[in-house]
Structure 1
Amino acid sequence: MKDPFTEFRNLVTLVEGRVQQIAKEHDVEHLGGPQGFVVMYLYKHSGEEVFIKDIEKKLKISKSVTSNLIRRMEKNNFIKVIPSQKDKRYKQLVLTSLGSQKAVKLADFHRTIHDKVLKDIDLTELKTAKKVIRKIRENLEIEE
């Protein structure tokens, strides 16, 4: 058996390459990070008021980083910032038409990745993999 670190590095490289390829095929190649999270969060919470502070908390990022993210997403025409319907002092985030289209594509992309990654893996194997991944993460967490 190869060194487990080599196996892990090769797996990560393969996953990254395939994810990028499939993302491009689904027209969501630039939505893998925080912008994609925000698009999907707003899509899943459509009909609810979502505020900048909600995104800040969910992503566990600072106010300034969140502000930059929101500005970038407005510039990319994925979201609009509008006054709250309930309290005009607050700004709510809503998907634009483009943002909604990207959310549908992202959902399809996630299904495709999920199906490809988990193909022919049974529940027992999946539980074992999750257990090993959790142990590796615990081993790598910084001790205080």
Structure 2
Amino acid sequence: MGAHGENPFQQIRSFINEMEQYVADEAKRFGADHLSGPQGFVLMHLVKHPDQVFSIKDFEDCLNLSKSVTSNLIKRMEKNGFVLVVPSAKDKRVKHVLLTDYGREQSVKLEGFLGHVHKVMLQGIRKEDAAVAKQVFQQLKANIRAEQDQKVQD
């Protein structure tokens, strides 16, 4: 238990639940409901790096997802018209992910949605406090990973 008998992990869980509901509601309002998760990450990554070519494997690595989950994600995005998947000219086994015009249009909605959510959620929070929160979450993740690594070694 934390200070004053409150369980900080229960508070985090409660916050996550409330945040997820808020984000889902706002995503619908902005017309970005399919773009608030990994699809949105892929879309924005392609928008922010227009001169680079990314493979499905690149997204597997940066999203830290399995090959099958990433492949299904990209297939869903292709079906939704956000991206086009084409074989590499150098190696046909490598599939490149390209942004479509529709994907670029949808990224504008996504940027509006993300900007709004960030503005609302960070209102009244000092940069210093946000930096401390980031450090705390990074340390929590590091503690979990260290424990998992220790179990693997045992």
- Counterpart of 2:90 (choices 72, 79, 87) is 87
Check 1:64–1:132 CA distance in 2 against 1; reply closer, same or farther (3 A cut).
Answer: closer
Amino acid at match of 1:24: K
User: In the alignment, which residue of structure 1 is the partner of 2:122?
Assistant: 118
Alignment TM-score, normalising by the size of structure 1: 0.81
User: In the alignment, which residue of structure 1 is the partner of 2:35?
Assistant: 31
The runs of 5 or more residues in structure 2 that have no matched partner are: none
Amino acid at match of 1:121: I
Show CA shifts across 1:55-113 (max 9, x none): 222222333332222221111111112344x6373542211222111211112222111
Q: Percent identity?
A: 41
Amino acid at match of 2:90: D
Question: Of Structure 1 and Structure 2, which has the larger fraction of its residues in helix?
Answer: 2
Where 2:128 maps in the other structure, the secondary structure is: helix
Amino acid at match of 1:124: E
Amino acid at match of 2:86: I
1:142 Cα deviation (Å)?
A: 5.5
Aligned pairs, number: 143
1:23 Cα deviation (Å)?
A: 0.9
Alignment RMSD (CA, Å): 2.3
Structure 1 residue 52 and structure 2 residue 69: aligned?
A: no
1:27 Cα deviation (Å)?
A: 0.9
User: In the alignment, which residue of structure 2 is the partner of 1:74?
Assistant: 78
Alignment TM-score, normalising by the size of structure 2: 0.77
